A and B are shown apart, each in its own frame.
With several copies, the nearest count.
Chain A
Amino acid sequence: MIKNEAMKIVSQQEIAASIYELTLSGSLVSEMNQPGQFVHIKTGNGYEPLLRRPISISSIDKENNTFTMVYRAEGKGTSLLSQETNDTEIDVLGPLGNGFTPEAAISGGTTLLVGGGIGVPPLYELSKRLTKLGVNVIHVLGFQNAATVFYEEKFQALGETYITTVDGSHGTKGFVTDVIDKLSDSYTTIFACGPTPMLRALESAYKETKEVFLSLEERMGCGIGACFACVCHTAEDPTGFHYKKVCSDGPVFRAGEVVL
Protein backbone atom coordinates (compact mmCIF):
# COMPACT_ATOMS: atom_id res chain seq x y z
CA MET A 1 0.00 0.00 0.00
CA ILE A 2 1.09 3.53 -0.70
CA LYS A 3 1.87 5.44 2.47
CA ASN A 4 3.04 8.90 3.36
CA GLU A 5 5.55 9.11 6.18
CA ALA A 6 8.01 11.54 7.71
CA MET A 7 11.01 9.21 7.66
CA LYS A 8 14.15 9.59 9.70
CA ILE A 9 17.53 10.05 8.09
CA VAL A 10 19.81 7.21 9.13
CA SER A 11 22.71 8.37 7.01
CA GLN A 12 23.47 10.55 4.05
CA GLN A 13 26.80 10.79 2.29
CA GLU A 14 28.28 11.87 -1.01
CA ILE A 15 29.57 8.65 -2.58
CA ALA A 16 30.69 10.13 -5.92
CA ALA A 17 30.73 13.59 -7.48
CA SER A 18 27.31 15.06 -6.63
CA ILE A 19 25.96 11.54 -6.07
CA TYR A 20 24.40 11.03 -2.65
CA GLU A 21 23.42 7.89 -0.83
CA LEU A 22 20.57 8.46 1.58
CA THR A 23 19.22 5.87 4.00
CA LEU A 24 15.88 6.46 5.69
CA SER A 25 14.02 4.53 8.33
CA GLY A 26 10.32 4.17 9.02
CA SER A 27 7.36 1.86 8.87
CA LEU A 28 6.82 2.61 5.18
CA VAL A 29 9.66 0.18 4.48
CA SER A 30 7.36 -2.71 5.34
CA GLU A 31 5.31 -1.86 2.23
CA MET A 32 8.32 -2.16 -0.09
CA ASN A 33 8.36 -5.42 -1.96
CA GLN A 34 9.61 -5.00 -5.45
CA PRO A 35 12.94 -3.75 -6.79
CA GLY A 36 12.47 -0.92 -9.26
CA GLN A 37 9.69 0.81 -7.38
CA PHE A 38 10.25 4.42 -6.45
CA VAL A 39 9.34 6.93 -3.80
CA HIS A 40 8.14 10.48 -4.22
CA ILE A 41 9.96 12.92 -2.00
CA LYS A 42 9.04 16.39 -0.80
CA THR A 43 12.18 18.48 -0.61
CA GLY A 44 12.48 21.76 1.25
CA ASN A 45 9.75 22.90 3.58
CA GLY A 46 7.85 25.52 1.65
CA TYR A 47 6.21 25.80 -1.74
CA GLU A 48 9.50 25.88 -3.52
CA PRO A 49 10.12 23.33 -4.84
CA LEU A 50 6.41 22.70 -5.13
CA LEU A 51 6.52 19.25 -6.69
CA ARG A 52 7.84 16.04 -5.22
CA ARG A 53 10.88 14.31 -6.69
CA PRO A 54 10.70 10.69 -7.90
CA ILE A 55 13.69 8.64 -6.72
CA SER A 56 14.16 4.90 -7.11
CA ILE A 57 14.52 2.59 -4.18
CA SER A 58 18.04 1.22 -4.47
CA SER A 59 18.05 -1.19 -1.57
CA ILE A 60 15.64 -2.37 1.09
CA ASP A 61 16.55 -3.57 4.56
CA LYS A 62 13.38 -4.94 6.13
CA GLU A 63 15.09 -6.10 9.27
CA ASN A 64 16.18 -2.61 10.18
CA ASN A 65 13.17 -0.94 8.63
CA THR A 66 15.39 1.14 6.38
CA PHE A 67 15.78 1.70 2.69
CA THR A 68 18.42 3.43 0.63
CA MET A 69 18.29 5.75 -2.35
CA VAL A 70 21.11 7.00 -4.52
CA TYR A 71 20.54 10.27 -6.32
CA ARG A 72 22.33 13.03 -8.12
CA ALA A 73 22.08 16.49 -6.54
CA GLU A 74 21.51 18.64 -9.56
CA GLY A 75 18.49 20.94 -9.53
CA LYS A 76 16.72 22.75 -6.74
CA GLY A 77 15.00 19.81 -5.10
CA THR A 78 17.80 17.30 -5.06
CA SER A 79 20.28 19.96 -3.93
CA LEU A 80 18.08 20.80 -0.97
CA LEU A 81 17.72 17.11 -0.17
CA SER A 82 21.47 16.65 -0.20
CA GLN A 83 21.84 19.34 2.48
CA GLU A 84 19.54 17.61 4.97
CA THR A 85 21.28 16.36 8.05
CA ASN A 86 20.63 13.59 10.50
CA ASP A 87 18.08 15.34 12.69
CA THR A 88 15.70 16.00 9.83
CA GLU A 89 12.72 13.98 8.73
CA ILE A 90 12.04 13.47 5.06
CA ASP A 91 8.49 13.45 3.69
CA VAL A 92 8.24 10.26 1.63
CA LEU A 93 5.31 8.96 -0.41
CA GLY A 94 5.62 5.38 -1.54
CA PRO A 95 6.34 2.78 -2.57
CA LEU A 96 5.10 3.74 -6.01
CA GLY A 97 4.73 1.99 -9.31
CA ASN A 98 5.46 -1.46 -10.59
CA GLY A 99 9.09 -2.47 -10.54
CA PHE A 100 11.19 -5.28 -11.89
CA THR A 101 9.99 -8.86 -11.55
CA PRO A 102 13.02 -10.95 -10.61
CA GLU A 103 10.82 -14.00 -11.27
CA ALA A 104 10.91 -13.16 -14.97
CA ALA A 105 14.53 -14.27 -15.06
CA ILE A 106 14.91 -18.01 -15.42
CA SER A 107 16.35 -19.30 -12.20
CA GLY A 108 19.85 -20.67 -12.70
CA GLY A 109 20.24 -18.89 -16.01
CA THR A 110 22.11 -15.68 -16.67
CA THR A 111 20.61 -12.22 -16.59
CA LEU A 112 22.03 -8.97 -17.87
CA LEU A 113 21.52 -5.81 -15.82
CA VAL A 114 22.19 -2.59 -17.69
CA GLY A 115 22.29 0.77 -15.96
CA GLY A 116 23.11 4.28 -17.09
CA GLY A 117 24.08 7.01 -14.61
CA ILE A 118 21.36 7.59 -12.05
CA GLY A 119 19.52 4.66 -13.63
CA VAL A 120 21.98 2.36 -11.88
CA PRO A 121 20.56 2.52 -8.30
CA PRO A 122 17.38 0.40 -8.70
CA LEU A 123 19.46 -2.39 -10.25
CA TYR A 124 21.21 -2.92 -6.95
CA GLU A 125 18.19 -4.26 -5.05
CA LEU A 126 17.22 -6.21 -8.18
CA SER A 127 20.64 -7.81 -8.40
CA LYS A 128 20.53 -8.80 -4.74
CA ARG A 129 17.16 -10.46 -5.29
CA LEU A 130 18.28 -12.24 -8.44
CA THR A 131 21.42 -13.64 -6.91
CA LYS A 132 19.36 -14.81 -3.94
CA LEU A 133 17.12 -16.61 -6.45
CA GLY A 134 20.22 -18.31 -7.83
CA VAL A 135 20.30 -16.30 -11.00
CA ASN A 136 23.71 -15.51 -12.46
CA VAL A 137 23.95 -11.74 -13.03
CA ILE A 138 26.16 -9.66 -15.29
CA HIS A 139 26.20 -5.88 -14.73
CA VAL A 140 27.03 -3.33 -17.36
CA LEU A 141 27.00 0.13 -15.86
CA GLY A 142 27.62 3.33 -17.77
CA PHE A 143 28.75 6.64 -16.32
CA GLN A 144 29.95 10.02 -17.57
CA ASN A 145 33.41 9.79 -16.07
CA ALA A 146 35.41 8.25 -13.26
CA ALA A 147 34.29 10.88 -10.74
CA THR A 148 30.65 9.87 -11.01
CA VAL A 149 31.08 6.11 -10.80
CA PHE A 150 29.45 4.57 -7.72
CA TYR A 151 28.61 1.15 -6.28
CA GLU A 152 31.22 -0.63 -8.46
CA GLU A 153 32.38 -2.94 -5.66
CA LYS A 154 28.87 -3.55 -4.44
CA PHE A 155 27.84 -4.84 -7.83
CA GLN A 156 31.08 -6.77 -8.21
CA ALA A 157 30.27 -8.61 -5.01
CA LEU A 158 27.08 -9.86 -6.66
CA GLY A 159 28.40 -10.77 -10.12
CA GLU A 160 30.50 -9.94 -13.12
CA THR A 161 30.56 -6.12 -13.52
CA TYR A 162 31.65 -3.95 -16.46
CA ILE A 163 31.94 -0.18 -16.16
CA THR A 164 31.91 2.21 -19.10
CA THR A 165 32.59 5.92 -19.03
CA VAL A 166 31.92 8.35 -21.84
CA ASP A 167 35.37 9.89 -21.53
CA GLY A 168 37.19 6.62 -20.86
CA SER A 169 38.49 7.82 -17.50
CA HIS A 170 37.39 4.54 -15.90
CA GLY A 171 36.51 1.15 -17.38
CA THR A 172 35.72 0.89 -21.05
CA LYS A 173 35.48 4.12 -23.02
CA GLY A 174 32.06 4.53 -24.60
CA PHE A 175 28.53 3.43 -23.92
CA VAL A 176 27.11 0.34 -22.28
CA THR A 177 26.19 -1.02 -25.69
CA ASP A 178 29.87 -1.07 -26.63
CA VAL A 179 30.43 -3.62 -23.86
CA ILE A 180 27.24 -5.58 -24.40
CA ASP A 181 27.98 -6.07 -28.09
CA LYS A 182 31.10 -7.98 -27.08
CA LEU A 183 29.55 -10.16 -24.39
CA SER A 184 28.70 -13.77 -25.14
CA ASP A 185 24.93 -13.72 -25.34
CA SER A 186 24.39 -16.50 -22.86
CA TYR A 187 21.87 -14.40 -20.94
CA THR A 188 18.16 -14.78 -21.48
CA THR A 189 16.84 -11.66 -19.81
CA ILE A 190 17.80 -7.99 -19.72
CA PHE A 191 16.74 -5.54 -17.04
CA ALA A 192 17.70 -1.96 -17.77
CA CYS A 193 17.33 1.52 -16.36
CA GLY A 194 18.86 4.69 -17.71
CA PRO A 195 18.52 7.44 -20.31
CA THR A 196 15.93 6.90 -23.03
CA PRO A 197 18.48 6.64 -25.90
CA MET A 198 20.11 3.75 -24.03
CA LEU A 199 16.76 2.05 -23.49
CA ARG A 200 15.87 2.52 -27.16
CA ALA A 201 19.13 0.98 -28.28
CA LEU A 202 18.57 -2.05 -26.05
CA GLU A 203 15.00 -2.42 -27.19
CA SER A 204 15.79 -2.36 -30.86
CA ALA A 205 18.77 -4.71 -30.53
CA TYR A 206 17.39 -7.34 -28.16
CA LYS A 207 13.60 -7.13 -28.13
CA GLU A 208 13.24 -10.09 -30.46
CA THR A 209 15.82 -12.40 -28.93
CA LYS A 210 15.69 -11.73 -25.19
CA GLU A 211 13.21 -10.94 -22.50
CA VAL A 212 13.83 -7.22 -22.03
CA PHE A 213 12.47 -5.04 -19.20
CA LEU A 214 13.03 -1.33 -19.22
CA SER A 215 12.53 1.24 -16.47
CA LEU A 216 11.35 4.57 -17.86
CA GLU A 217 11.64 8.14 -16.64
CA GLU A 218 9.17 10.93 -17.17
CA ARG A 219 8.40 14.27 -15.54
CA MET A 220 5.69 13.70 -12.97
CA GLY A 221 2.93 15.59 -11.23
CA CYS A 222 1.20 13.29 -8.78
CA GLY A 223 3.31 10.12 -9.04
CA ILE A 224 0.27 7.95 -8.32
CA GLY A 225 -1.61 7.85 -11.61
CA ALA A 226 -4.09 10.68 -11.18
CA CYS A 227 -2.80 13.58 -13.27
CA PHE A 228 -1.85 12.12 -16.67
CA ALA A 229 1.52 13.92 -16.66
CA CYS A 230 3.60 10.84 -17.34
CA VAL A 231 1.78 8.86 -19.99
CA CYS A 232 3.23 7.12 -22.99
CA HIS A 233 1.59 5.55 -26.02
CA THR A 234 1.22 1.79 -26.11
CA ALA A 235 3.15 0.02 -28.85
CA GLU A 236 -0.07 -1.46 -30.20
CA ASP A 237 -1.69 1.93 -30.68
CA PRO A 238 1.27 4.26 -31.13
CA THR A 239 -0.73 7.29 -32.26
CA GLY A 240 -4.09 6.53 -30.73
CA PHE A 241 -5.56 7.22 -27.34
CA HIS A 242 -4.38 4.10 -25.51
CA TYR A 243 -1.71 4.83 -22.96
CA LYS A 244 0.26 3.66 -19.99
CA LYS A 245 1.26 5.79 -17.05
CA VAL A 246 4.94 5.62 -16.14
CA CYS A 247 4.23 6.31 -12.49
CA SER A 248 1.58 3.69 -11.82
CA ASP A 249 1.65 1.21 -14.72
CA GLY A 250 5.44 1.46 -14.84
CA PRO A 251 8.10 2.66 -14.39
CA VAL A 252 9.16 -0.82 -15.59
CA PHE A 253 7.68 -2.06 -18.85
CA ARG A 254 8.42 -5.05 -21.01
CA ALA A 255 10.25 -3.91 -24.16
CA GLY A 256 7.71 -3.48 -26.91
CA GLU A 257 4.87 -2.68 -24.55
CA VAL A 258 5.06 1.11 -24.84
CA VAL A 259 6.52 3.63 -27.25
CA LEU A 260 9.82 4.95 -25.92
Chain B
Amino acid sequence: MNMLNIKLPGLDLKNPIMPASGCFGFGKEFGNLYDLNILGAMMVKATTPEPRFGNPTPRVAETSSGMLNAIGLQNPGLKHVLKDELPWLNQFNVPIIANIAGSQVEDYVTVAGEISRASNVKALELNISCPNVKEGGITFGTDPDVARKVTEAVKAVSEVPVYVKLSPNVTNIVEMAQAVEAGGADGLTMINTLMGMRLDMKTGKPILANKTGGLSGPAIKPVAIRMIYEVSQAVTIPIIGMGGIMTAEDVIEFFYAGASAVAVGTANFTDPFVCPKIIEELPVLLKKLGYNHISECTGRSWNKHEQFANHRA
Protein backbone atom coordinates (compact mmCIF):
# COMPACT_ATOMS: atom_id res chain seq x y z
CA MET B 1 0.00 0.00 0.00
CA ASN B 2 1.29 3.42 -0.88
CA MET B 3 1.26 5.51 2.28
CA LEU B 4 2.88 8.55 0.75
CA ASN B 5 1.13 9.51 -2.50
CA ILE B 6 -0.40 12.96 -2.50
CA LYS B 7 -2.32 14.94 -5.07
CA LEU B 8 -1.98 18.70 -5.10
CA PRO B 9 -2.96 21.22 -7.76
CA GLY B 10 -0.93 20.25 -10.83
CA LEU B 11 1.10 17.74 -8.87
CA ASP B 12 0.60 14.03 -8.71
CA LEU B 13 3.23 13.11 -6.15
CA LYS B 14 4.42 9.59 -5.44
CA ASN B 15 5.58 10.99 -2.14
CA PRO B 16 5.43 14.45 -0.58
CA ILE B 17 9.22 14.93 -0.31
CA MET B 18 11.02 17.33 -2.61
CA PRO B 19 14.25 19.27 -2.47
CA ALA B 20 13.73 22.98 -1.82
CA SER B 21 14.64 25.56 -4.38
CA GLY B 22 18.23 26.72 -4.37
CA CYS B 23 19.52 23.74 -2.44
CA PHE B 24 19.54 21.28 -5.31
CA GLY B 25 20.52 23.30 -8.38
CA PHE B 26 18.77 21.79 -11.38
CA GLY B 27 19.32 18.28 -10.08
CA LYS B 28 22.42 17.27 -12.03
CA GLU B 29 24.82 17.12 -9.09
CA PHE B 30 22.53 15.09 -6.85
CA GLY B 31 21.69 12.96 -9.87
CA ASN B 32 25.28 11.72 -9.64
CA LEU B 33 24.59 10.53 -6.09
CA TYR B 34 21.26 8.79 -6.39
CA ASP B 35 18.39 8.09 -8.75
CA LEU B 36 16.28 11.25 -8.82
CA ASN B 37 13.22 9.21 -9.78
CA ILE B 38 12.60 8.48 -6.11
CA LEU B 39 11.75 12.14 -5.41
CA GLY B 40 8.17 13.30 -5.07
CA ALA B 41 8.96 16.44 -7.00
CA MET B 42 11.84 18.83 -7.50
CA MET B 43 11.91 22.55 -6.81
CA VAL B 44 14.63 23.85 -9.04
CA LYS B 45 16.81 26.94 -8.57
CA ALA B 46 15.15 30.32 -9.07
CA THR B 47 15.04 31.38 -12.71
CA THR B 48 15.12 35.00 -13.87
CA PRO B 49 14.66 36.33 -17.40
CA GLU B 50 18.38 37.00 -17.86
CA PRO B 51 21.36 35.11 -16.42
CA ARG B 52 22.51 36.40 -13.02
CA PHE B 53 25.84 36.03 -11.30
CA GLY B 54 24.41 36.84 -7.90
CA ASN B 55 26.25 38.31 -4.94
CA PRO B 56 29.97 38.40 -4.26
CA THR B 57 31.44 35.67 -2.03
CA PRO B 58 31.49 34.66 0.81
CA ARG B 59 27.89 33.69 0.26
CA VAL B 60 27.34 31.33 3.18
CA ALA B 61 28.03 31.46 6.91
CA GLU B 62 27.23 29.00 9.62
CA THR B 63 25.10 29.76 12.70
CA SER B 64 23.88 27.67 15.63
CA SER B 65 21.74 24.92 14.08
CA GLY B 66 21.46 27.03 10.98
CA MET B 67 23.18 28.75 8.10
CA LEU B 68 22.98 32.07 6.34
CA ASN B 69 23.07 32.32 2.57
CA ALA B 70 23.21 35.23 0.21
CA ILE B 71 23.53 33.57 -3.15
CA GLY B 72 21.57 36.36 -4.76
CA LEU B 73 19.54 34.24 -7.14
CA GLN B 74 22.47 33.21 -9.33
CA ASN B 75 21.07 31.34 -12.31
CA PRO B 76 21.79 30.78 -15.96
CA GLY B 77 18.69 32.66 -17.12
CA LEU B 78 15.42 31.60 -18.67
CA LYS B 79 16.77 30.65 -22.11
CA HIS B 80 19.38 28.32 -20.77
CA VAL B 81 16.95 26.74 -18.31
CA LEU B 82 14.47 26.05 -21.14
CA LYS B 83 17.10 24.78 -23.54
CA ASP B 84 19.35 22.81 -21.26
CA GLU B 85 18.23 22.22 -17.68
CA LEU B 86 14.58 21.28 -18.14
CA PRO B 87 15.19 18.96 -21.10
CA TRP B 88 17.89 17.17 -19.07
CA LEU B 89 15.40 16.72 -16.23
CA ASN B 90 12.91 15.20 -18.66
CA GLN B 91 14.59 11.80 -18.30
CA PHE B 92 13.12 11.55 -14.80
CA ASN B 93 9.57 10.77 -13.89
CA VAL B 94 9.51 13.66 -11.43
CA PRO B 95 7.28 16.73 -11.65
CA ILE B 96 9.29 19.93 -11.70
CA ILE B 97 8.24 22.98 -9.73
CA ALA B 98 9.90 25.95 -11.37
CA ASN B 99 10.92 28.67 -8.94
CA ILE B 100 10.64 32.04 -10.63
CA ALA B 101 12.04 35.38 -9.54
CA GLY B 102 12.63 38.86 -10.78
CA SER B 103 13.01 42.52 -9.97
CA GLN B 104 9.69 43.65 -11.37
CA VAL B 105 6.30 42.20 -12.19
CA GLU B 106 7.22 41.95 -15.88
CA ASP B 107 10.10 39.64 -15.02
CA TYR B 108 7.79 37.22 -13.26
CA VAL B 109 5.35 37.36 -16.13
CA THR B 110 8.05 36.75 -18.71
CA VAL B 111 9.47 33.73 -16.93
CA ALA B 112 6.09 32.31 -15.92
CA GLY B 113 4.65 32.57 -19.41
CA GLU B 114 7.51 30.66 -20.99
CA ILE B 115 8.58 28.23 -18.33
CA SER B 116 5.06 27.03 -17.56
CA ARG B 117 4.91 25.67 -21.08
CA ALA B 118 7.81 23.29 -20.56
CA SER B 119 6.42 19.77 -20.56
CA ASN B 120 7.82 18.65 -17.22
CA VAL B 121 7.03 21.85 -15.33
CA LYS B 122 3.88 20.95 -13.44
CA ALA B 123 3.70 23.99 -11.18
CA LEU B 124 5.35 27.33 -10.58
CA GLU B 125 6.73 28.55 -7.30
CA LEU B 126 6.59 32.31 -7.17
CA ASN B 127 9.59 33.48 -5.19
CA ILE B 128 8.42 36.79 -3.81
CA SER B 129 10.47 36.31 -0.68
CA CYS B 130 14.16 36.24 -1.49
CA PRO B 131 15.91 38.35 1.13
CA ASN B 132 19.14 38.53 -0.82
CA VAL B 133 18.46 40.79 -3.75
CA LYS B 134 18.30 44.55 -3.73
CA GLU B 135 15.21 45.08 -5.85
CA GLY B 136 12.13 42.96 -6.05
CA GLY B 137 12.47 39.73 -4.18
CA ILE B 138 11.43 40.43 -0.66
CA THR B 139 9.50 43.67 -1.26
CA PHE B 140 6.97 41.65 -3.20
CA GLY B 141 6.73 39.36 -0.23
CA THR B 142 6.07 41.88 2.52
CA ASP B 143 3.28 44.03 1.10
CA PRO B 144 0.00 42.14 0.68
CA ASP B 145 -1.23 44.32 -2.18
CA VAL B 146 1.95 43.98 -4.17
CA ALA B 147 1.99 40.24 -3.49
CA ARG B 148 -1.55 39.89 -4.69
CA LYS B 149 -0.88 41.81 -7.87
CA VAL B 150 2.15 39.81 -8.88
CA THR B 151 0.20 36.63 -8.18
CA GLU B 152 -2.64 37.79 -10.41
CA ALA B 153 -0.26 38.77 -13.18
CA VAL B 154 1.48 35.41 -13.10
CA LYS B 155 -1.79 33.47 -12.88
CA ALA B 156 -2.93 35.28 -16.01
CA VAL B 157 -0.08 33.87 -18.08
CA SER B 158 0.74 30.56 -16.42
CA GLU B 159 -0.25 27.25 -17.99
CA VAL B 160 0.21 25.42 -14.68
CA PRO B 161 -0.90 25.97 -11.09
CA VAL B 162 0.94 28.68 -9.19
CA TYR B 163 2.30 28.29 -5.65
CA VAL B 164 3.43 31.44 -3.91
CA LYS B 165 6.45 31.26 -1.61
CA LEU B 166 5.94 33.31 1.52
CA SER B 167 8.56 35.21 3.46
CA PRO B 168 8.62 34.82 7.24
CA ASN B 169 9.97 38.35 7.64
CA VAL B 170 6.53 39.88 8.12
CA THR B 171 4.37 41.03 10.98
CA ASN B 172 1.30 39.21 9.76
CA ILE B 173 1.83 36.05 7.75
CA VAL B 174 -1.89 35.26 7.56
CA GLU B 175 -2.60 38.53 5.84
CA MET B 176 0.06 37.78 3.23
CA ALA B 177 -1.29 34.28 2.67
CA GLN B 178 -4.85 35.50 2.25
CA ALA B 179 -3.75 38.21 -0.14
CA VAL B 180 -2.07 35.76 -2.51
CA GLU B 181 -4.97 33.35 -2.15
CA ALA B 182 -7.24 36.19 -3.23
CA GLY B 183 -4.82 36.80 -6.10
CA GLY B 184 -5.54 33.29 -7.34
CA ALA B 185 -2.67 31.29 -5.90
CA ASP B 186 -3.27 27.54 -6.15
CA GLY B 187 -1.05 26.80 -3.20
CA LEU B 188 1.53 28.22 -0.83
CA THR B 189 5.08 27.24 -0.10
CA MET B 190 6.50 28.41 3.19
CA ILE B 191 8.76 29.47 4.66
CA ASN B 192 11.60 31.14 2.87
CA THR B 193 14.57 32.21 5.00
CA LEU B 194 14.58 34.66 7.91
CA MET B 195 16.81 37.68 7.46
CA GLY B 196 19.94 37.32 9.57
CA MET B 197 23.57 38.30 9.89
CA ARG B 198 26.89 37.18 11.35
CA LEU B 199 29.90 39.31 12.14
CA ASP B 200 33.52 38.29 12.06
CA MET B 201 35.21 38.33 15.48
CA LYS B 202 38.47 39.75 14.15
CA THR B 203 37.32 42.40 11.69
CA GLY B 204 33.93 43.19 13.18
CA LYS B 205 32.52 43.14 9.66
CA PRO B 206 29.76 40.92 8.25
CA ILE B 207 30.99 37.48 7.18
CA LEU B 208 28.77 37.56 4.11
CA ALA B 209 29.88 39.91 1.35
CA ASN B 210 26.20 40.84 0.99
CA LYS B 211 26.18 41.66 4.74
CA THR B 212 22.78 40.13 5.51
CA GLY B 213 21.63 36.70 4.43
CA GLY B 214 18.79 34.26 4.74
CA LEU B 215 18.71 32.03 7.80
CA SER B 216 17.73 28.40 7.16
CA GLY B 217 18.07 25.06 8.89
CA PRO B 218 16.72 23.57 12.15
CA ALA B 219 17.06 26.92 13.94
CA ILE B 220 14.04 28.27 12.05
CA LYS B 221 11.82 25.21 12.28
CA PRO B 222 9.72 26.51 15.21
CA VAL B 223 8.99 29.69 13.25
CA ALA B 224 7.99 27.68 10.17
CA ILE B 225 5.73 25.40 12.20
CA ARG B 226 4.02 28.35 13.87
CA MET B 227 3.39 30.12 10.57
CA ILE B 228 2.06 27.03 8.81
CA TYR B 229 -0.16 26.35 11.81
CA GLU B 230 -1.65 29.84 11.55
CA VAL B 231 -1.92 30.01 7.78
CA SER B 232 -3.33 26.54 7.20
CA GLN B 233 -6.33 27.44 9.34
CA ALA B 234 -6.92 30.68 7.46
CA VAL B 235 -6.73 29.61 3.81
CA THR B 236 -8.24 26.81 1.74
CA ILE B 237 -5.30 26.23 -0.59
CA PRO B 238 -2.67 23.59 0.28
CA ILE B 239 0.73 24.34 1.75
CA ILE B 240 4.10 22.85 0.89
CA GLY B 241 6.05 23.29 4.12
CA MET B 242 9.76 23.87 4.60
CA GLY B 243 12.24 25.34 7.04
CA GLY B 244 14.68 23.17 8.94
CA ILE B 245 13.49 19.71 7.96
CA MET B 246 16.24 17.19 8.73
CA THR B 247 14.35 13.96 9.57
CA ALA B 248 11.17 12.00 8.95
CA GLU B 249 9.92 13.22 12.35
CA ASP B 250 10.31 16.80 11.18
CA VAL B 251 8.23 15.97 8.10
CA ILE B 252 5.42 14.68 10.29
CA GLU B 253 5.60 17.81 12.44
CA PHE B 254 5.10 19.95 9.31
CA PHE B 255 2.11 17.83 8.31
CA TYR B 256 0.65 18.15 11.80
CA ALA B 257 1.06 21.93 11.50
CA GLY B 258 -0.98 21.91 8.31
CA ALA B 259 1.34 21.11 5.39
CA SER B 260 0.29 18.72 2.62
CA ALA B 261 3.80 18.17 1.29
CA VAL B 262 7.26 19.36 2.31
CA ALA B 263 10.52 20.54 0.86
CA VAL B 264 13.98 19.85 2.23
CA GLY B 265 16.60 22.55 1.80
CA THR B 266 19.67 22.99 3.96
CA ALA B 267 19.63 19.36 5.10
CA ASN B 268 20.87 18.38 1.62
CA PHE B 269 24.18 20.04 2.50
CA THR B 270 24.54 18.27 5.84
CA ASP B 271 23.58 14.94 4.33
CA PRO B 272 23.28 14.74 0.54
CA PHE B 273 21.28 11.54 0.91
CA VAL B 274 18.72 13.05 3.25
CA CYS B 275 15.82 12.97 0.76
CA PRO B 276 16.09 9.26 -0.06
CA LYS B 277 16.58 8.53 3.65
CA ILE B 278 13.45 10.40 4.66
CA ILE B 279 11.42 8.79 1.90
CA GLU B 280 12.54 5.39 3.13
CA GLU B 281 11.91 6.12 6.79
CA LEU B 282 8.52 7.80 6.49
CA PRO B 283 6.34 4.71 6.02
CA VAL B 284 8.00 3.02 9.00
CA LEU B 285 7.47 6.05 11.17
CA LEU B 286 3.88 6.48 10.03
CA LYS B 287 3.12 2.88 10.92
CA LYS B 288 4.74 3.28 14.30
CA LEU B 289 2.56 6.33 14.95
CA GLY B 290 -0.55 4.48 13.82
CA TYR B 291 -1.31 6.14 10.53
CA ASN B 292 -2.25 4.44 7.29
CA HIS B 293 -1.43 7.36 5.08
CA ILE B 294 0.61 10.50 5.54
CA SER B 295 -2.33 12.69 4.58
CA GLU B 296 -3.95 11.73 7.88
CA CYS B 297 -1.33 13.88 9.60
CA THR B 298 -2.17 17.13 7.86
CA GLY B 299 -3.51 19.75 10.23
CA ARG B 300 -3.68 17.39 13.20
CA SER B 301 -2.43 20.16 15.48
CA TRP B 302 -5.67 22.06 15.01
CA ASN B 303 -8.27 19.91 13.32
CA LYS B 304 -10.79 17.76 15.12
CA HIS B 305 -9.31 14.54 13.69
CA GLU B 306 -12.54 13.66 11.87
CA GLN B 307 -11.59 15.04 8.56
CA PHE B 308 -8.36 13.63 7.22
CA ALA B 309 -6.58 14.27 3.99
CA ASN B 310 -8.11 17.68 3.63
CA HIS B 311 -5.93 18.62 0.69
CA ARG B 312 -5.76 15.19 -0.87
CA ALA B 313 -7.88 16.53 -3.74
Contact = CB atoms under 8 A, between A and B. Distances in A.
A125 B65 CA distance: 35
27 contacts: A1-B32, A2-B32, A4-B271, A47-B246, A49-B62, A50-B217, A50-B218, A50-B266, A50-B269, A51-B62, A51-B270, A218-B57, A221-B60, A223-B269, A224-B32, A224-B33, A226-B25, A226-B30, A228-B59, A229-B60, A230-B59, A231-B59, A232-B57, A241-B51, A241-B53, A241-B76, A243-B74
A222 interface: yes
A77 to B, nearest CB: 8
Most buried by B among A76, A218, A227: A227
Given A2-B33, A47-B218, A221-B67, A230 B57 contact: yes
Contacts of A222: 23, 29, 268-269, 272
A220 B272 CA distance: 14
B10 interface: no
A197 interface: no
Given A42-B270, A50-B66, 10 more contacts: A2-B33, A50-B217, A50-B218, A52-B269, A76-B62, A221-B60, A224-B32, A224-B33, A230-B57, A243-B53
B113 interface: no
Contacts of B266: 50
Contact of A225 (B25, B74, B77, B217): B25
A226 B268 contact: yes
B269 A221 contact: yes
B285 interface: no
B235 to A, nearest CB: 30
Contacts of B268: 222, 226
Contact of A229 (B33, B52, B57, B66): B57
Given A42-B270, A51-B270, A227 B25 contact: yes
Given A2-B32, A241-B52, A227 B23 contact: yes
Given A219-B60, A241-B77, A228 B272 contact: no
B45 to A, nearest CB: 8
A47 B33 contact: no
A221 B69 CA distance: 9
Contacts of A48: 64-65
Contact of B54 (A49, A52, A220, A231): A231
B10 to A, nearest CB: 25
Interface string B245-272: 0100000000000000000001011111
A241 B59 CA distance: 16
A50 B63 CA distance: 8
B140 interface: no
Interface in A68-91: 76
B71 interface: yes
Contacts of B28: 225-226
A219 B59 contact: yes
A226 B43 CA distance: 13
Contacts of A93: 272
Interface residues of A, number: 33
A237 B42 CA distance: 31
Contact of B57 (A4, A224, A231, A240): A231
Given A225-B29, A226-B30, A241-B51, A51 B57 contact: no
B108 interface: no
Contacts of A223: 269
A47 B65 contact: yes
Contacts of A49: 62
Most buried by A among B28, B45, B59, B61: B59
B71 A229 contact: yes
A243 B52 CA distance: 10
A219 B54 contact: no
A210 interface: no
Interface string A41-68: 0100001111110000000000000000
Contacts of B32: 1-2, 224
Contacts of A51: 60, 62, 67, 269-270
A214 to B, nearest CB: 16
Contacts of B77: 241
Contacts of B45: 228
Contacts of B71: 227-229
A233 B50 CA distance: 17
B30 to A, nearest CB: 6
A230 B70 CA distance: 11
A209 B298 CA distance: 49
Interface in B255-308: 266, 268-273
B22 A219 contact: no
Given A47-B218, A240-B53, A241-B77, A52 B270 contact: yes
B256 to A, nearest CB: 18
A61 to B, nearest CB: 25
B87 interface: no
Most buried by B among A52, A222, A226, A232: A226
A2 B272 CA distance: 11
Given A225-B25, A241-B51, A243-B74, A50 B270 contact: yes
A248 interface: yes
A218 B270 CA distance: 17
